[in-house]
A and B are shown apart, each in its own frame.
Chain A
Amino acid sequence: MGNRTPLYQCHLDAGAKIVDFAGWDMPINYGSQITEHETVRGDAGMFDVSHMTVVDVSGNDARAYLQYLLANDVARLAVPGKALYSCMLNEQGGVIDDLIVYFLHDNFYRVVINSATREKDLAWLDRHAQAYDDLNIRFRDDVAMIAVQGPRAIEKCLPLFDDYQQQALRQLARFQGTEFDDCFVARTGYTGEDGFEILTLATQAADLWQSLLAAGVAPCGLGARDTLRLEAGMNLYGSDMDETTSPLVSGLGWTVAMKDERDFIGKQALLAQQAEGLQQSFVGLVLLDKGVLRNHLRVQTERGDGEITSGSYSPTLQKSIAMARIPAGVTGQVEVEVRGKMLKAQIVRIPFVREGKSMLTNEERNV
């Protein structure tokens, strides 16, 4: 038996197929992954993301600590509740993890990191905390998190809150969260759709789940979560980047704040990579032939080989899509080796889908 979230029984009650995910017993689907995917693109679905690791960082040194620890700059977070996506790098510029950090109020940040990387992340956070006097790091094992996503997610969530809270939630900007007495609600997610991520006490999670079910929000599993994030061009740690890859060749250059004086772990390595010139680029692929692109398949280009980092089937585009790391400067078409055959794929811009709509250009669509 693996770790179980406070919603485990709710998943069984909803007919979930349970699989092991990084040591957690999690729902992969509740029947059909494609149906769940389509529900999130067209209506509202919810995901139990309680296996993710929540860490509260507080104290007078919290900001300086996070500024040194993260490749993105928490100084960008001026308004309470604002969220920032960032990588946490090692000295070589490899990615230890990617995370979301919320600025809750002065000297108080909430960091949400991956579940598979929990142990090493917490060790890394602790190790670098030693240099700061006024810093408190608290791992929150008392909370649960439900992501409610889709074009109708917000309207279905709102009635669960009182009038005052609803007013606050209606004014919530994207990538912004707000704290109530017993929960924290952020307008963030991992699907390319609008919606909320709701953090609540573990003891209240099952009640929240039941209320969302009653409001017509469909349970969705990790299977749909993966195809949704892939369509939305959002990286998955361990597949698209890891400790051996730089964010600069993982499509994450935009998350690194490197231009000012601020020093952070991995900055020197990234500056050196930039000065040398990046040898690889991170691209989207759409399969032109029949088949399905999968992780680790070899991509053959006129400038050498690359590799698919995440590949699957896109229910929205009804084609196979992938993200891949290939030699820099390649454009147009490439070939992917699938079971000994070379299949044609078109290089496209990431993301593939946003808010239910294909982002492929007419040109890309008509190849």
Chain B
Amino acid sequence: MSEETAVEIARSVNARETSAVERAVAMAERIAERDGAVGAYLTQTAELARAHAETIDARIAAGERLPLAGVPLAIKDNMCVTGTRTTCASRILEHWISPYTGTAVQRLLAAGALPLGKTNLDEFAMGSSCENSALGKTANPWDLGRVPGGSSGGSVAAVAAGEATVALGSDTGGSIREPAAFCGVVGFKPTYGRVSRYGLIAFASSLDQIGPISNTVEDSALVYDTMAGYDPMDATTVDRPVEPTANGLREDLRGVRIGIVKEFGLSALEADVRAVYERAYADLEKLGAELVEVALPTADYGIATYYLIAPAECSSNLARFDGMRYGLRVEAPDVGATYEATRAAGFGDEVKRRILIGTYALSSGYYDAYYVRAQKARTLIAADFAKAFASCDAIACPAAATPAFQFAAKADPVSMYLMDYYTIPMSLAGLPSLSVPCGYVTPPGARGPLPLGLELSGPLFAERSLLGIAHAYERGTRHAAAERIPALSGAGAAR
């Protein structure tokens, strides 16, 4: 069943060949069987999924047709769902029950998706390995000794391990794309403003974007089409019609110009990794694309820029976690001391680090030197992309420089920040960008092949064209189906 796509499930449930309830029960069983090893979920909501499945079956029995009928969905635990624990993988929200459901989730549920549970993440989505979770450890299903990537590590691992058919992630600087690459699935970050952030617990508001994670590009397109579009509850959503993407998927790349970024040369990569990307570029060409070199001279400043803007916004966004109205409260003699004790106990090191950096960057006397300059750099990076897209339809590059690494391999925060080198510039420019499986490497010490992802990015609002290109690449190469996940076969799953 794990090979079954959302498109196939929705078709069969709509045709009443199977029921949503059967799907909910079967997936819950599979989660129970596998999640002990993978640890994708922080909270399983089998009963919620089943109850919702009953209403979906009733609606279908009444003649409705739902685009995601009976499709098992995993939800990153920084998205609010009424009555569920929504933790952000943080001690400070460990026991917080959301009183409302966010827009993106609401739209998927209304379309028939079944909420199987809430998945692990780096605390408040700050991290690239899922190791910053205060509430659980998620392993890469390809090698349980390795990280799934992050921050959407739980959602990606759930889809890779067959513990969900599709999942929602959030991407601020690469938090969907990097883990998707590490776990060999499709992860798609839409244009900023395309999917409502209402109900997504903010990390960096000007960068956060919800996106789908799935086994196929087609499934991501289906989920995206269902949840994208203007939301009166989010003033940053764009009020212009969404071009459907699911009916724009193409089988070849004839007439498509793919930009290869001059500054993202492959020479610094390990030889086996480099070989995979060289072949990926060659495959694009083989499928009919014309490869053109494009320049992104400012992209190199992406990480520095990002690590001023994102912490600045996070320092303000996370102020509300003060122990007064909800979440953890550590009692102390007065209000100020209560704030301090609560936040000291409630936040992990990486979150504190970013709050401190951000507070500093916004402080009087430093604001112009840091925050304002970072915003200027952001504008230049976006301008570079705009120029590049004058000569190409999409840009291809690695989603990450390496395959999934082992737990505790990146103890130094900066080495972790560098994991997002290829994803951050697109986030700063607000572009639609995705990772699609593009091959495997087996580095020394690995228990088997580890997937790599090709990142494809398009101009603003070019979701239809971008998903079309990714679909053609996926169908033309079939990397996703090329290897089996060792951890889930035999001994691996029992570990």
Do A and B pair up? The answer is no
